[in-house]
Structure 1
């Protein structure tokens, strides 16, 4: 139920929110902030949702998120290849979800297809003051 509500809210708000200005280096990928709301019962924390859209063969560079961020991600369309923390790389299909704990390293985030697009919704619970949600690895 929570996933469906978040997806519906994010998709409904999509035209209202600009693209994030701090995307990780990527190929054929777009990250858009689609929802942001302070949590009334958790002072200092907000829910922020981003829609990640990958074209065929698209990917985001390896990255981390703010230390305060807990992330719940669900694949909305297609398939996404992901490797978070020490877990093995895995392909998630539409309807599958995964979490990222504070401090996790996201080594792989990519469309699993070279011919079809994919989309995922990442819902952050993060410190309200955080504005940079994606921090590319230093080269």
Structure 2
């Protein structure tokens, strides 16, 4: 196996272990770990970038993240309907962003369109030893 194929296989395996518990209603979505790096000036912390692609009508189940995670999300395409904690449900369009603090609950995360896809990039600052980034709400 060539080096690029080995790297692709390793990244795929990392995605499957790093983002379990993300399930979407409607058509299947794509969740991809696109970046991971330990922070050299903050021992024990890493930054991870996760690309979430929602098909038309797609949505994630309500979830939380590790208690060490700070998340900054930017909508890259389309419009995302989101609710954090008991705040209002808001629609974020391409170029807009939101953040989640450690311990926040993300009750709504959905494509606001039934006809167009939507994508967002979620950037996590999280403890390096965290293996799961998403936990379903109970």
TM-score under structure 2 length normalisation: 0.85
Matched length: 124
CA distance in 2, matches of 1:30, 1:87: 27
Aligned to 2:24: 26
CA distance in 1, matches of 2:16, 2:115: 26
Q: Does 2:91 match 1:91? A: yes
Secondary structure class of the residue paired with 2:131: coil
Q: What's the CA shift for 1:51?
A: 0.3
TM-score under structure 1 length normalisation: 0.85
Contact 1:23 1:31 in 2 (8 A): no
Aligned to 1:79: 79
> After the TM superposition, which segments of 4 or more aligned residues of structure 1 sit over 6 Å from their partners?
none
Aligned to 2:61: 61
CA distance in 2, matches of 1:45, 1:68: 9
CA distance in 1, matches of 2:97, 2:66: 20
Larger Rg: 2
Secondary structure class of the residue paired with 1:56: coil
Aligned to 1:45: 45
CA distance in 2, matches of 1:108, 1:20: 22
Aligned to 2:3: none
Deviates more, 1:35-44 or 1:15-24: 15-24
Structure 2 segments unaligned to the other structure (5+ residues): 1-6
